[in-house]
Chain A
Amino acid sequence: MEKLSDLEYLKLTKAQKFFYRLKLLITGFPSWLLGLGKALLSFLKNIILNIKNEFLDIFLTFKNGDFKTKLSYLFMGFGSIARGQILRGLLFLIFEIVFIFYMISSGTYWLNKLMTLGTKGPQEVYNEKLDQYVMTYYDNSFKILLYGILTIIFIIAFIYTWRLNIKQNKISEAIIKSGKKLKSSKDDLRSLVDDQFHKTLLALPLTGIIVFTALPILFMILIAFTNFDANHNGYSNALFTWVGTSNINQLVTWTSGSSNFSATFGEILTWTLIWAFFATFTNYFLGIFVALMINKKGIMFKKLWRTILVMTIAIPQFISLLYVSKMFSNNGIINGWLMDWGIVGLDSRIQFWENPTLARIMVILINIWIGIPYLMLIATGILLNIPADLYESAKIDGASTLQQFQKITLPYMLFITGPYLLTSFIGNINNFNVIFLLTGGGPTNQAYTTSGGSAGYTDLLITWLFKITTVDSNYKLAAVIGIAVFVVCAAISLFVYNILPSMKNEEEFQ
C-alpha cells in the first residue's frame, strides 16, 4: 500500500485517519510475518553455528592443552586443582562425583521409566489370616514424570558444567602463558561479595524460579501429552502413559454435534474475552470518573468518600462476593425487598443468576463494584500529577471541561496506565474469584457438556479448568486448556505490548 507523507496524513479526516492506520496494520501483516520467519531462521542458524563452534572449541582445547587440561575431560576440576585453584577444582569434582553417584543410584532408573511412565501398576492381594485386601504399589507415573524431568535437567546442568570446566582450563592456560597469576580460592570467595555480588544475590531467586515456576510449567505441558485422569491417576488405580497429541487434537478438531470439546472451548473463550474486555474497561473508565468526581474542587468530605470506596477492598472477596451472590438469588434479600414493596410479584422475581444473559451482565456489574476502588486509587495519584499549567492554558484558550478531559486527562492517563490496562486485561481473563464465587459458572448450559466435564454460561476458561480438575479429575484436558489460556494471554500481551505508546517512546507524551 502506498504510504502517505505526514502532510497528506494530517489532511485526512478522523475516520480516514483511522482507516488509513487500520489498512497499514493489515497490509503490514504479511511483511511482519515474513520478518518473523526470517528472524526465526537466523536464530536457528545462529544456534547451529554456536553448537558447531562449541564442539570445535572442545576439540581444539583438548588438542592444544597440556596433560592437566586433557585429564580434566575425564576428572572434572583436575586442571584447576593442579594449577592451585583448589576451591573451584573441588566443586567441579564433587559435582561430578555426585552426578555419577546419582545417575547410578536412581537417575538411570527414572530415565529408563520416563519413556513408558511405568509398567507395573498397583496389585491387590488377599491376606487370609488377617482377612484383609492389601495393596502393593509399584511404579508411580507421577513421580517418574517428575523425577524424569529433574534428571534430564540435571544432565543438562552436568553437560553445561563439564563445558565450563573445559573453558576454565583453556582460560587458565592462557593466563599462565601470558605470565599472570591465577585467582586463588580466596580471591574467588571474595569476588562473590565484590564484583560478582549480583550472582550471589541472584542464586536463590533463580533456584526459586526454576523449582517453583519453570518446573511446574514444564510438568503441566508434558501432562497434556499423557492420559493422566481419574481413570489413570498414575499411582493408586492405573498408571498413565504418553498418548501423543490426542488431547490437543480434541481441542483443535471440530466435530459436529453439540457436546464436543472444541466447540465448547470456542464458546467459553469468546465469553472470556467479552468478559475481560468489559471487566477491564468499565472499571477503568468508571474508576477515573469517580476519581475525577472526588478530586473536583468544592467536593466536601473527600476522605470520607475515598474511605467508603476503599472499604470494598478491605473486606475479603470470599466474604463480600458470596454474600452478594446470596443477595441476588431468587429468594435473596433483593428480590425479597422488591416483593415487599410490591415492585415484583412472586412470578416476576428477577432471576439474576438463573437467566444466562442477566447472569453475565450481573457479574460484570458486580465486578465494577469491587474493581472501581483500585482504579480510583491509581487514578487519584496520576491525576494529581498532571501539571496544572496544562489545564490553565487550556482554560485560557477557551477549552470546555469535556475538551480538557479529552485532550489532556485521558491521553495522559492512557499513556501512563497502558501497561496497567494490559495486565488487568490478562488478569481478568484469569479472574477466578468473581465468577466462581458469584455464579459458580452457572447457569448450566446443556450444550457445554463435553468429555472434559460440563460448563455454564458464565464459566471462564479458568473456572472451567477448575471444574475439570476438581470435579472430573481430567488433568490431561485441564493441561490442554492451561496451555491454551497461556497461548491466548501471551498472544494478546505481545500484540498489545507492541502497539502501546508508553512502551515505544517514553518521551512521546506531551
Chain B
Amino acid sequence: MKKLLSVFLSFLMVVSLSACRPNEEGSTESETTEEETTEETSEETTAAEYSFKVWCADNVVDLTKSQLDKFATDHPEYALTFTVEAVGENDAATSMITDVEAGADIYSFAQDQLARLVQSNALAKPGVKASETINAENDASGIAAATFDKELWAYPLTSDNGYFMYYDKSVISEEHLGDLTAILEDCVAANKTFAFEGTTSAWYIASLFFGTGCVSEWNMNGTDIVSYNDTFNSEEGLIAAKGLKEIVTSPAFTSSSGADAFSANPAAAVLVSGTWAYSDVEAVLGDNLGAAELPSFTVDGNTYHMGSFSGNKLIGVKPQTDAEKAAVASQIALYLTGEECQSERFDAVAWGPSNKKAADSDAVKANPALVALAAQNEYGVPQGQYPGAWWDIGKAIGSAIFELGADSTDDDLKGVLQSYSDSLASLLTVDPEVARAWTVIGSVQGGDWSEDIEMVEDPEGTWTTADLDLKAGEEFKVRQGKSWDANLGSDGADGANFVVEEDGTYQIQLVVGDDWTAGTVELIKK
C-alpha cells in the first residue's frame, strides 16, 4: 500500500531523527565525562583513561610512537592509549580546519598555518605555567612562531623551517657562491637547472622582497585583519621584482623545491629548499653536496642579499571540553617538544631543535644544512602571521612575471605589483552594512576606546544607541564603519571628543544631515 509505504518511510526517519538530540546547555557529553573523571581521580585507585589521536610527519611516526610510549610508562597515573597517524604538516592544518571535531588531539604543523588554525579555533592555548616553560626553554624564533595576537598558542617543535641553498659542488664553483648571476651562469653552462619555487610559492618569492628591505606585516585580531603594512609595491619592491625576473626568466629556472630536482632530467645544480630535504639531497649528491646561504642579486649596480623566512614547526593541542584530558594533552605536548625528544628527533631525522639546550649540542652545530640555515637566518625575517589569502596572492607575483617573459618593462613589473597590492587591499574591504553603520566609541561604559557601541538606524535615518549609563567626565566620539575616516566630535567632523557633564542614563542619538559632516549628535537624558 502507498499508505503503508509512506508510514514506513516516515517511521524510519523518526528513528533516525530521535537518535540524535540537541544539547540544551553546552556539551552534555563532556559534562558527564568530566564527572566520571573527577570521580576516578578522587578515588585514586584506577588510573584515568585517556585516548589521544596524534598526527605527525610521515618520517617521525615510529619515533613519536616510542616517545609516547615512554611518556605513558613515565606516567603510570594515567592509562593512555595513542593512535599515531602520519599526516603531513600542511595537510594537518587543512584537515583540522575542515573538521575540528574529528581532528587529532595533538598534531604538528608548520608555522604559517597558525593563523588559520587559531581562526578555526583548532588550537587550545597552553596554560599559564606551560607558557612559562615554553618561553624559558625555547629560542626566540620558536616563541615568536607560536605566538599569535600576543598570545602563545602552540608548542615549538623545531627551529629549522627556513630555506637556504643546496648546490652541486661539481657545477657551482666556490667563488661564485654569493652571486646569483654567476650561479645562474654556471647552471646554464652545465645544462643544469636552478630549482627555486619562484612561480608556485609566496614563501620563496618573498625572499627577494625581504632582500631589498620590503616588509609585509599583518596585524590580526583573532579572525579579522585589523591592518597591514606591506611595501612590496614600492621602489624596493620593483628592485626585488627585477631580481625575481632574473631568476624566473633564466634558461635554468625550474619551479621546484623537492630533492628530486637533483635527480630529474635536466638535473638541478642548485635547489632552494629547507632542512627537510637534506637526507634526500645527500643520497643523490653524496660528496658533491654543498649547502650555503642564499646568494645576492644585483640590480642597477646595487647588490642585495636574498632574504628568507625563518620559521618553525609547532605542535598544537586541540581544545578539549574535559579539563583533565586537556591537562594531560598539554603535558604530552610539552614532553614531545622538550629537550629529550627534540634531541632524539635531531639524531633520527636531523630536525633542527628549537629547544635551547638541545640546539647547543656539537652534533647540531656540525650539520651542514643547519649551518647554512643559521647563516641564512642572519638575513631571515621571523615568519609572522599572514592571512591565508596572502600566500595565494603572493605566488601570483612570480607566475605573472614568468608569464611576462624576459622582455617585460619596468612598467609591466609595476603593474604586477600594483595588482598584488590591489588584491591585498580587497582583503580589507568590509561588509557594506558595517561600512555604513555608525557607532559610538570612547571611555564610556567602561570601554577604553577599543570597543564600538552599536547604534540602530530608524527609517528617518536617525541612529540611536540603547540606554547607556554614563558618568560625568567620560568622553566619546561617533564614527562610521568602525574606522576614523568619518567621525564626529563636539565641534563637527574630526572635532574634539564629546564630554558627559552629568551622571545619568542617556541615549546617544545621531541625526545625519544631507552629508555626514553635517550630522548632529545629541545626548538624550532618560
> Is chain B a partner of chain A in the same complex?
yes
Which residues from chain A sit less than 8 Å from chain B, CB to CB? 88, 91-92, 94-95, 98-99, 101-102, 105-107, 109-110, 113, 122, 124, 126-127, 130-138, 143, 147, 150-151, 153-154, 157-158, 160-161, 164, 168, 188, 191-192, 196, 199-200, 202-203, 206-207, 230-231, 233, 235-238, 257-259, 329-333, 335-337, 339-340, 345-349, 354, 356, 442-447, 449, 451, 453-454, 456, 470-473
A237 CA / B117 CA spacing, docked (Å): 10
Of the A-B pairs whose beta carbons lie under 8 Å apart in the complex, a sample of 7, sorted by A's number, is A131-B127, A133-B319, A135-B121, A196-B4, A335-B266, A339-B265, A446-B396
Instruction: Quote the shortest CB–CB distance from A432 to chain B (angstroms).
Output: 17
Q: CB within 8 A of A151: which of B17, B100, B195?
A: B17
Which 6 interchain pairs have the tightest Cβ spacing? A336-B265, A347-B251, A131-B127, A454-B392, A237-B121, A446-B396
A199 and B2 in contact (CB under 8 A), knowing A91-B8, A136-B30, A443-B402? yes
User: What 0/1 readout, one digit per residue, does chain B (10-33) give for beta carbons within 8 Å of chain A?
Assistant: 111110011011111111001000
A124 contact set on B, CB distance < 8 A: 319
Q: CB within 8 A of B251: which of A154, A235, A346?
A: A346
B191 interfacial by beta-carbon distance below 8 Å = yes
Q: For the A-B complex with A331-B265, A472-B392 known, give 19 more contacts whose Cβ atoms are closer than 8 Å.
A: A132-B330, A137-B27, A138-B25, A147-B17, A158-B10, A161-B6, A199-B4, A203-B8, A207-B9, A236-B101, A346-B188, A346-B193, A348-B251, A446-B396, A454-B392, A454-B396, A471-B94, A473-B97, A473-B120
Query: Which chain A residue shows the least CB distance to B432?
Result: A246
B122 contact set on A, CB distance < 8 A: 236
A164 touches B265 (CB 8 A): no
A449 and B266 in contact (CB under 8 A), knowing A133-B326, A230-B388? no
Q: CB within 8 A of B18: which of A102, A131, A230, A346?
A: A102
A138 CA / B122 CA spacing, docked (Å): 16
B223 touches A238 (CB 8 A): yes
A444 touches B395 (CB 8 A): yes
A88 touches B3 (CB 8 A): yes
A127 CA / B5 CA spacing, docked (Å): 54
Q: Tell me the count of chain B residues lying within 8 A, CB to CB, of chain A.
A: 90
A235 and B326 in contact (CB under 8 A), knowing A131-B129, A134-B320, A446-B416? no
Query: Which chain A residue shows the least CB distance to B268?
Result: A331
A318 CA / B324 CA spacing, docked (Å): 44
Which of B229-237, B252-260, B374-382 is the interface stretch? B252-260
Instruction: Quote the shortest CB–CB distance from B124 to chain A (angstroms).
Output: 6
A446 touches B13 (CB 8 A): no
Q: Which of B242-266 contact A (CB under 8 A)?
A: 251-252, 254-256, 261, 264-266
B423 contact set on A, CB distance < 8 A: 258-259, 446, 449
Which residues from chain B sit less than 8 Å from chain A, CB to CB? 1-14, 17-18, 20-27, 30, 94, 97-98, 100-101, 116, 119-122, 124-125, 127-130, 187-188, 191-193, 195, 199-200, 223-224, 251-252, 254-256, 261, 264-268, 319-324, 326-327, 330, 388-389, 392-393, 395-400, 402-403, 416, 419-420, 422-423, 426-427
A137 contact set on B, CB distance < 8 A: 26-27, 30, 321
A157 touches B6 (CB 8 A): yes
B393 touches A331 (CB 8 A): no
A135 and B399 in contact (CB under 8 A), knowing A109-B22, A236-B100, A258-B422? no
A472 and B330 in contact (CB under 8 A), knowing A130-B324, A331-B264, A346-B252? no
A131 contact set on B, CB distance < 8 A: 127-130, 327, 330
B26 touches A138 (CB 8 A): yes
Instruction: Quote the shortest CB–CB distance from A424 to chain B (angstroms).
Output: 31
A134 touches B14 (CB 8 A): no
Q: CB within 8 A of A473: which of B4, B98, B330, B402?
A: B98
A95 CA / B27 CA spacing, docked (Å): 30
B3 touches A346 (CB 8 A): no
A339 contact set on B, CB distance < 8 A: 191, 265-266
A99 touches B13 (CB 8 A): no
Which of A99, A188, A259, A336 has the most chain B CB atoms inside 10 A of its CB?
A259
Which of A130, A134, A168, A442 has the most chain B CB atoms inside 10 A of its CB?
A134
A373 CA / B30 CA spacing, docked (Å): 56
Query: Which chain A residue shows the least CB distance to B21?
Result: A106
A147 CA / B3 CA spacing, docked (Å): 25
A95 touches B7 (CB 8 A): yes
Instruction: Quote the shortest CB–CB distance from A73 to chain B (angstroms).
Output: 16
A207 CA / B12 CA spacing, docked (Å): 9
A199 touches B264 (CB 8 A): no
Which of A191, A347, A453 has the most chain B CB atoms inside 10 A of its CB?
A347
A132 touches B265 (CB 8 A): no
Q: CB within 8 A of A130: which of B14, B327, B400?
A: B327
A106 CA / B23 CA spacing, docked (Å): 9
Query: Which chain B residue shows the least CB distance to A105?
Result: B21
A257 touches B4 (CB 8 A): no
A107 contact set on B, CB distance < 8 A: 17
A331 touches B120 (CB 8 A): no
A333 touches B265 (CB 8 A): yes
Instruction: Quote the shortest CB–CB distance from B186 to chain A (angstroms).
Output: 12
Query: Which chain A residue shows the least CB distance to B392?
Result: A454
Instruction: Quote the shortest CB–CB distance from A471 to chain B (angstroms).
Output: 7
A101 CA / B11 CA spacing, docked (Å): 13
A336 contact set on B, CB distance < 8 A: 264-266
Query: Which chain A residue shows the least CB distance to B96?
Result: A236
Q: CB within 8 A of B4: which of A130, A192, A348, A445?
A: A192
A259 CA / B420 CA spacing, docked (Å): 10
B116 contact set on A, CB distance < 8 A: 230, 473
